[in-house]
Amino acid sequence: MLNIRFVRENPEAVKENIRKKFQEEKLVLVDEVLALDKKFRASKTEGDSLRGDRNRLSKTIGGLMQKGEKDKAEEVKLQVAEINRALSDLEEKERRMEMELREKMLVIPQMIDDSVPIGKDDSENVEIQRFGEAKVPDYEIPYHIDIMESVNGVDLDAARKTSGNGFYYLKGDIARLHSAILSYARDFMIDRGFTYYIPPFMIRSDVVTGVMSFAEMENMMYKIEGEDLYLIGTSEHSMIGRFIDTITPEEEMPLCLTSYSPCFRKEVGAHGIEERGVYRIHQFEKQEMVVVCKPEDSPHWFEELWKNTVDFFRSMEIPVRTLECCSGDLADLKVKSLDVEAWSPRQQKYFEVGSCSNLGDAQARRLGIKLRGENGTYLAHTLNNTVVAPPRMLIAFLENHFREDGSIYIPQPLRMYMGGKEEIR
């Protein structure tokens, strides 16, 4: 959410930012916000004037009573009572305007960074760099579910019976591999100085609207019926929510956190849940990284976060590339975002396995996350990035480490988590 003063002083810049995101339908919001803000401030001025009149009249009542002019005092009391009624009506009007103003402000997108490429959707994202050699072996790579089934590692039929499409049972060495990847990701991030967390897996609505846009919430979040609770779509939600209405001394910055959680997503508007596959699913597990820092440090941490994911995948000998997300592919709260994609030798293309985002002060403004420095308090910046989401990551892992004899190679860093196994057969 933008600062209302910024919108007031830079309406054309805000509109141009909306155009860059190809959301022309939101242009009218800027003028509506400015008009509502003007009315709100005028109401505040009127209220201050009425309070001044009330204070002045209240002081005269005592003087009139001392002079024995009770009738005049009663007349003044009636005037004060009338002012109180007017103030009560005005304050109720201001509360409604303030609520309406916030609702409109929540829909206006965050100002994107000047370096973000302009484009309508993810087809116009810009490749930045590749890491590792993207190879295609001279033997056929089976579909990832076929690889899992060949080692008795997955049961989709049973999951469809219990839960429907978009769910799975992992078992045996594939289930162990899934857990091994998460354990390795946890230790990988701890070794890089991040504090490990297991957060709540449900959050309240005020946290949901603080960490994401309404459109994202509707498309992603599962609500607990009859309660003000939502299942998290990623641990970033509860990790950022942890700092709601806090003021942290700036000398404690940055706060570098890594968190494990299951994730639950409706996937509304997605290209469909695969009947046989674990690429787009309703339930998965993930290791996340989150940073809260001073505003001037967020560009540095953005670079550090995406490099962590690249280094993690490269340590498991999986080729990856990075893509700069264009303006039209940025969620409304994001200032800048970069996707990490892994190589699929079967499809002979890259696919997304992680997303790194700098949200500037957007989440901090919504949730009241502040820092205290020598000159007072100010809003923090927040960033997040995926370390690894194993079900999707398993696709890249299995395809890149499937050998011609049907075995699956296990890279060195994972072997200690797999009981010393060097391969799965």
Laid out side by side, the sheet with 246-249 consists of 246-249, 369-373, 376-379
Task: Tell me the HSE value of 140 on the side-chain side, using a 13 A CA sphere.
Answer: 4
Question: Of how many residues is the chain composed?
Answer: 425
Instruction: Give the amino acid at 344.
Output: S
Q: Which of 386, 417, 414 is nearest to 259 (CA)?
A: 386
Distances (CA, A) of 155 to 38, 149, 168, 390: 60, 8, 6, 16
C-beta of residue 265 within 8 angstroms of C-beta of residue 237: no
Most distant pair of Cα atoms in the chain: their distance = 108
**Neighbouring-strand partners of residue 376:** 373
> How much is the pLDDT for 272?
52
Rg (CA), the chain: 28
Return the number of other C-beta atoms located less than 10 Å from residue 339's C-beta: 25
pLDDT in tens, 354-413: 999 999 999 999 999 999 999 999 999 999 999 999 888 999 999 999 999 999 999 999
Cβ-proximal residues to 201 (8 Å cutoff; 6+ apart), any chain: 231, 232, 238, 261, 262
Residue environment code for 356-387, b if the CB has 16+ CB neighbours within 10 A, otherwise e: bbbbbbbbbbbbebbbeeeeeeebbbbbbbbb
Q: Which residues of the chain have pLDDT under 70?
A: 268-275
Q: For residue 241, what are its two tokens?
A: 């929510």
Q: What are phi and psi of 378, to 5 degrees?
A: -155, 165
Please give the C-alpha separations between residue 106 and each of 30, 35, 110, in angstroms, as whole numbers: 12, 16, 9
pLDDT of residue 158: 95
Q: How far apart are CA 45 and CA 160, in angstroms?
A: 62
Strand order across the 222-223 sheet: 202-203, 230-231, 222-223
> How many C-beta atoms surround the C-beta of residue 245 within 10 A?
9
CA angle 129, 179, 164 (to 5 degrees): 95
**What's the CA gap between 286 and 263, in Å, rounded?**
7
Instruction: Give the span between the Cα atoms of 355 and 352, in whole angstroms.
Output: 8
- Residue 355 — φ and ψ, nearest 5°? -140, 125
Instruction: Name residue 311's amino acid.
Output: D
Task: Record the pTM.
Answer: 0.89
